Amino acid sequence: MYKDKFVSVIIAAAGQGKRMNSKVNKQYLKLCNKPVLAHTIDIFEKCSWVDEIIVVTHSNEIEYCKENVIKVYGFKKVIRVIAGGSTRQESVFNGLKSVDKRCSIVMIHDGARPFIREEYILNSIDEAVKYKAVGIGVYVKDTIKVVDEDGYIVNTPDRKFLWAIQTPQTFDYDLLMKAYEKAIKEGFLGTDDTSLVERINQKVKMIMGSYDNIKITTPEDLYIGEAILKSREN
């Protein structure tokens, strides 16, 4: 444990989850009779290296989140539940502005990704102390094709250089804030947090994650998620 490092976790849970075809946002759907978001928070709550958790949710769901997730499951490390923005990037930035002033390492994690294991959290923090910016992911299994606007294949990248990125993504706090402030100033919208850091010429260290660290996105993912949880119990 790094006693001199204050670790904050920002859980992005403000997405609408339109692909789920549900009136309830995907973070609050039940997975083995427990909300997806509760599963996610629980892993970080139990991690001794994590000092605080900030949950960023939709403005209309703040009280719902507090009453039906934070209070029901007794999460003590969740210091704040705050409103997100119109994009994931804006939501995470709101979270960055809300962390404790002592924060030196910050982790960004998807609320709908409830299967991250503690070992990967610890490894991410450890590597972030060394390299300042860390992404976690897995090698792609399929052959990837680059296709032009007319639908013709123009390139087949070597799979050994291709990763599917996951979360948590872990950073030196000051570095990530610098990357976010630059992106906002220049009107850049990235698809993840590492892309913002790449823009300020900071190398991002990739570490191996797990293929079961899936994101709950479609109804089928709930069935897969239940199978993952049951296999872990066994």
pLDDT in tens, 208-220: 999 999 999 988 9
Lowest mean pLDDT among 14-18, 41-45, 56-60, 154-158: 14-18
- Please, which pLDDT band fits residue 16 given cuts at 50, 70 and 90? low
Q: Determine the CATH number of domain 6-233.
A: 3.90.550.10
According to DSSP, the residues that pair with 13 across neighbouring strands are 57
Encoded tokens for 117: 């294991």
Say which range, 20-29, 205-214, 220-229, has the weakest mean pLDDT: 20-29
> What pTM did the predictor assign?
0.94
Provide the total of helices (H) and of strands (E) in the chain, helices listed first.
Answer: 7, 10
Q: What is the pLDDT of residues 191-211, one digit of tens each?
A: 999 999 999 999 999 999 999
3-state secondary structure of 15: coil
Contact 170, 105 (CB under 8 A): yes
Burial status of residue 15 (CB atoms within 10 A of its CB: 0-12, 13-18, 19 or more):
buried
